[in-house]
Amino acid sequence: MAVKRNRWLVISVLVVAVGAFLALSVLPFLSAGGDRPSTATSNGSNSPEVNEAQAELEARARGYELVLEREPDNQTAIEGLVDARIQLGDLEGVVEPLEKLAELNPNTPEYRVLLGQTKQSIGDLDGAADEFRTVLDQRPGEMNALQGLTALLLQQERPQAAVGLLQDTLQSAPQINEVTPGAVDVGSVQLLLAQVYVEEGDIDEALRVYDDAIDAAPDDFRPVLAKALVLRDAGREPDAVVLFQQAEELAPAQFKDQVRQLASNQTPDPEGDTVAPAESDAPPEPSEAETPDPGVAEDGEFID
């Protein structure tokens, strides 16, 4: 499972390399909350300090609730309530205020994506799918929602539905991009589609998609790197080495270190530090939203 998560992490980083936001934590107040450990759970008896911190969070949440009784559309209070409930470990309690934020900000899809990830994390898979699809109905190329729905479909063991979703997106991309240039990042969608094939063991089809992506955008390092990772996992080390070198040459300066880490079989950390060496292949599990982790985080996020 860890390797599977590593693969999706790498995918996210690759997509983020061209500006798409795939991390699960997309909003500053949620990211800040996710960085702090929840005071709602602990091993054994709570210490006085933990009890005091939890009481403070509960009081803060109640304060925001009182504000919202008077001003139901106060976004600062809604965001504060979301943050407090995340820190308390109350993800079910996050759903209602996130729904309100999504309603108040229809042109900010990140709120609804986070809502979908939150619903997924508490087991409401149908509700999560509805949120992702609502975003995609309005913005077919929204990469946060595409990745979220793709991961959800794989979690439900519906790989063909995931493939169909991404193929349909690619098929409609020329028309959508003609109306709104750049609305669908074709290269990012191809990366996601190829990874679905990898997860399902259809390596030949994954390599075909990577080749299509390379032909379409020969200066894009992402499909080159992704193909190198797949070839290495398939035991074709000499071919992979050549592609790793090519990917490093093509990569922008800020991504060269991560490419080197992946080439040396290490998982790149979003903060820029090297994480543990990646183990050999094993199917990933679509990442569930972590405190709406963002996960996606912005990256989210590289693929192994």
Assess whether pLDDT exceeds 60 at residue 72: yes
Best-predicted range by mean pLDDT among 233-247, 254-268, 279-293?
Answer: 233-247
Assess whether pLDDT exceeds 50 at residue 290: no
Assess whether pLDDT exceeds 60 at residue 299: no
Which CATH number covers residue 183?
1.25.40.10
3-class secondary-structure state, position 71: coil
Tokens describing residue 12: 């996210």
- Least Cα distance to 259 among 271, 246, 277 occurs for 246
**Section 6-11 average pLDDT:** 46
Name the strand (E) or helix (H) holding 202. Answer: none
pLDDT at 46: 65
Q: Which residue has the higher pLDDT, 42 or 192?
A: 192
* Range from 25-39, 41-55, 163-177, 248-262 carrying the lowest mean pLDDT: 25-39
At 112, the pLDDT band (50, 70, 90 cuts) reads very high
Domain-embedded: residue 262: yes
Tell me the C-alpha distance between 96 and 82, whole Å: 9
pLDDT at 45: 55
**Section 119-137 average pLDDT:** 94
Assess whether pLDDT exceeds 80 at residue 7: no
Domain-embedded: residue 168: yes
At 269, the pLDDT band (50, 70, 90 cuts) reads low
Q: State the pairing for strand pair 274-277/266-268.
A: antiparallel
- Least Cα distance to 188 among 61, 19, 9, 39 occurs for 19
Domain-embedded: residue 28: yes
Domain-embedded: residue 293: no
How many domains, the chain? 1
3-class secondary-structure state, position 260: helix
- The reported pTM is 0.72
Domain-embedded: residue 78: no
**Section 168-172 average pLDDT:** 96
- Least Cα distance to 164 among 136, 144, 138 occurs for 136
Tell me the C-alpha distance between 31 and 24, whole Å: 9
Structural domain including 157 reads: 2-38+89-277
Assess whether pLDDT exceeds 60 at residue 295: no
Domain-embedded: residue 8: yes
Contact 303, 297 (CB under 8 A): no
Assess whether pLDDT exceeds 80 at residue 235: yes
At 51, the pLDDT band (50, 70, 90 cuts) reads confident
Domain-embedded: residue 57: no
Q: Which residue has the higher pLDDT, 106 or 297?
A: 106
Domain-embedded: residue 224: yes
